[in-house]
């Protein structure tokens, strides 16, 4: 029986149970010692332990186990925290319909991902991948490269990550348009996406994965981009029709692309994506700067303090939409 | 006999002779058609043609021919324009002592080089060279990368290029110190270089090559840098003791480096620098964005208009110092 839901108490009568879904390296929860009973689960034990937990910390974000193990009507955690930006892995209709609160790691990855996108944009403009190829061959071959200042970017996704990307690109004097689900000040609505993509030098995908965004970057949209333009995805792999992107690159509809996320992760050794011409492949690392896991731990502990004190949580996900709504 | 020096005329009585030292692609001087007699020279014909020229445009900046061919006391161009930032290739004591004005391409390369440095800094922070290696091997290997915001840079060279680099790094929230020949507001003097280098995460060399700067980045200075720090040279190859840098990298005194310029260019196929661990080698291209030669042409034509109208030239090099003095 959940400590949190004991009748007649405003505070837990016994220590709440925190269930952590994850493997090494585990979160650093030292500050909660003695105040919470911490249990650990992996994919095989989650279903059995979930009903007894007050709080679930989804530390292993690649796992789909929550969705599969979520109890229907029975006892269940009152709060689920995802130690990442995207929550599409764990959402299921029962969780959406329940009164369980879902929070995410909003804020931790914004700046690192924005820097990563800037690194990719500049590397492509300055032709650095080719520079490395030529260095390996001991070949001195001068080329002209591109100026980034004055180019145009279209950043899709108007959450904190998309906004941080836009800020960073603007700091490099890239004219940047942000596209979100709903138009508001400084943010274009989806109806303007085609027009903005067609004139962009850089299209950056940083949207959450929802029913509306799944597969949004398809052959039609790649076909609409300028031949000199490049595409970057740091959102979710499922936003992109990978075969369509590979074809757009092979047929030179666009000049280049970089994917940090994929439909299937890790990308298998025999995936054709590794060797698509003009495609940069990186292993879902754009947000993971040194200390990221400590930051995620600290963020959870801070949220836990609020929860234990009965204060409202921040970073609350709109479960129907699948992300934390903007301000 | 020089048209410019015909006695008793304030304007040339005949068309001035413009001698261009360079090979294809030659500058676009269409706007001067009919107003100037354009002759071309290569290294072998320069000495013979130089005395008859009113103006020398040094288009081929890799050449040392001007220094060798410069006439001592005899007739000589009144104005020499170098289509690059550095003029050390062409200066000789006779040219320095003469009343010939030397100008350079100050302004054309600032932003492109600043972007190039930002590209290298971000690529090293985000471990992109390793990402390309792993992609070639079809290997998915997640790593933690570094946050650039909050790191410290020391930019050596306080001319327009160094200042543009500092501005761009600051836009990425890198705490940046500029070091110049003479301390002034916002610029540290050479006496502070050691202290600044010792605490920097990024040391960027963008100084002109002079007697004072030659070999300034040597074993002592690399030994003083943090083991996690990285070095970038976009100035001149001779600023760096290449063997000392290679040793510093091999012994892991520093974490990485990028050279765009070298003591001997082009770098020979058998140079050991191509394969120094942690060293990025690029072929002197940091400033050369698409259209750079047109920009250089346009800049020269603009200067020519001033010269022909008897107006004072801008971008005038202090021939003793070897660069255009700052404001």
pLDDT in tens, B188-227: 999 999 999 999 999 999 999 999 999 999 999 999 999 9
Q: Give the whole-number percent of chain B exceeding pLDDT 90.
A: 90
Domain count, chain B: 2
Both B45 and B138 in a single domain?
no
* Per-residue pLDDT tens digits for A277-317: 999 999 999 999 999 999 999 999 999 999 999 999 999 99
The verdict on A160 and A170 lying in the same domain is: yes
Considering the entire predicted model, what is its pTM?
0.91
B132 and B184 both lie in a single domain: yes
- pLDDT at position B24 is 84
Structural domain contains residue A9: no
Complex prediction ipTM: 0.90
- 3-state secondary structure (DSSP) of residue A106: coil
Please state, in angstroms and rounded to a whole number, the distance separating the CA atoms of residues B119 and B168: 10
**Beta sheet of A152-156, edge-to-edge order:** A175-179, A152-156, A202-205, A230-233, A256-259, A279-281
Q: What is the pLDDT of residues A265-285, one digit of tens each?
A: 999 999 999 999 999 999 999
Angle at B21 between CA B18 and CA B24, to 5 degrees: 110
Extract the tokens encoding A261. Answer: 């996320």
pLDDT at position A326, please? 76
Which residues of A are tagged catalytic? Answer: 236, 265, 284
Same domain, A119 and A50: no
pLDDT value at position A6?
A: 41
Residue A69: which domain range? 17-107+291-309
> pLDDT for A136-148, tens place per residue?
999 999 999 999 9
Average pLDDT over residues A221-234: 98
The enclosing domain of A100 has a CATH number of: 3.40.50.720
Rounded to whole angstroms, the Cα distance separating B19 from B39 reads 5
Ramachandran angles phi, psi of A325, nearest 5°: -65, 150
Q: Using an 8 Å Cβ cutoff, are B128 and A119 in contact?
A: yes
Kindly report the number of other CB atoms within 10 A of residue A327's CB atom. Answer: 5
**Min distance A48 CA to chain B CA atoms (Å):** 31
Q: In 10 A of CB A10, how many CB atoms?
A: 5
B63 plus B121 within the same structural domain: no
Q: Are residues B43 and B97 in the same domain?
A: yes
Name the DSSP letter for residue A153.
E
pLDDT for residue B214: 97
In a domain, B8, yes or no: no
How far apart CA B120 and CA B137 sit, in angstroms, is 23
Q: Taking residues A233-257, report their average pLDDT.
A: 98
- Collect all residues with Cβ–Cβ distance below 8 Å to B65 and sequence separation of at least 6: B21, B43, B46, B47
Q: How far, in Å, CA of A103 to CA of A82, rounded? A: 6
Distances (CA, A) of A245 to A30, A195, A273: 45, 19, 10
Collapsed DSSP state (helix, strand, coil) of residue A160: helix
- pLDDT at res. B5: 45
Report how far residue B280's alpha carbon sits from residue B103's, in angstroms, rounded to the nearest whole number. 32
Q: Do B142 and A283 touch (CB under 8 A)?
A: yes
| Per-residue pLDDT tens digits for B61-112 | 888 999 999 987 889 999 999 999 989 989 999 999 999 999 999 999 999 9
SS3 label, residue A20: strand
What is the model's pLDDT at position A13?
52
Is A147:A125 a contact under the CB 8 Å cutoff?
Answer: yes
Question: Which residues in B lie closer than 8 A to residue A144 (C-beta atoms)?
Answer: 285, 288-292
- Judged by a CB distance cut-off of 8 A, whether residue B255 touches chain A is no
Check if B94 is active-site: no
Cis amide leading into A266 (omega within 30)? yes
Determine, yes or no, domain membership for B4. no
Residues B30 and B103 grouped into a single domain: yes
What is the least distance, in Å, from the CA of B23 to any CA of chain A?
Answer: 16
Say whether both A301 and A182 belong to one domain: no
Residue A187 lies in a domain: yes
Question: Nearest CB to B171: which of A141, A147, A171?
Answer: A171
**Predicted local confidence at residue A113, as pLDDT:** 98
Cα→Cα distances A78→A22, A81, A90, Å: 19, 10, 15
Å between A115 CA and nearest CA of chain B: 7
Residue-wise pLDDT tens digits, B148-195 = 999 999 999 999 999 999 999 999 999 999 999 999 999 999 999 999
């Amino acid at each position: 029986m959940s400590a949190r839901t004991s009748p007649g108490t405003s505070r837990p009568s016994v220590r709440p149970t925190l269930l952590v879904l994850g493997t090494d390296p585990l979160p650093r929860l030292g500050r909660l010692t003695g105040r919470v009973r911490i249990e650990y689960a992996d994919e095989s034990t989650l279903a059995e332990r979930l009903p007894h937990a007050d709080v679930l910390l989804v530390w292993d974000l690649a796992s789909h186990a929550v969705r599969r193990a979520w109890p229907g009507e029975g006892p269940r955690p009152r709060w689920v925290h995802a130690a990442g930006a995207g929550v599409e892995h764990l959402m299921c209709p029962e969780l959406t319909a329940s009164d369980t609160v879902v929070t995410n790691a909003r804020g931790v990855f914004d700046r690192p991902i924005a820097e990563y996108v800037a690194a990719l944009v500049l590397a492509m403009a300055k032709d650095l991948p080719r520079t490395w190829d030529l260095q390996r061959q001991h070949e001195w071959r001068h080329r002209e490269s591109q100026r980034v200042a004055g180019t145009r970017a279209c950043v899709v996704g108007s959450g904190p990550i998309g906004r941080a990307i836009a800020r960073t690109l603007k700091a490099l004097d890239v004219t940047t348009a942000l596209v979100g689900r709903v138009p508001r000040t400084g943010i274009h609505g989806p109806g303007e996406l085609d027009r903005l993509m067609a004139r962009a030098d850089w299209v950056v995908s940083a949207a959450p994965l929802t029913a509306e965004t799944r597969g949004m970057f398809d052959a039609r949209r790649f076909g609409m981009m300028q031949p000199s333009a490049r595409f970057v995805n740091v959102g979710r792999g499922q936003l992109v029709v990978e075969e369509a992107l590979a074809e757009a690159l092979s047929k030179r509809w666009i000049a280049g692309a970089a994917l940090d996320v994929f439909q299937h992760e890790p990308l298998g050794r025999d995936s054709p994506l590794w060797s698509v011409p003009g495609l940069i492949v990186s292993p879902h690392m754009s947000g993971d700067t040194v200390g990221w896991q400590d930051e995620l731990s600290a963020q959870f502990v801070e949220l836990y303090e609020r929860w234990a004190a009965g204060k409202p949580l921040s970073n609350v996900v709109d479960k129907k939409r699948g992300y934390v709504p903007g301000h």
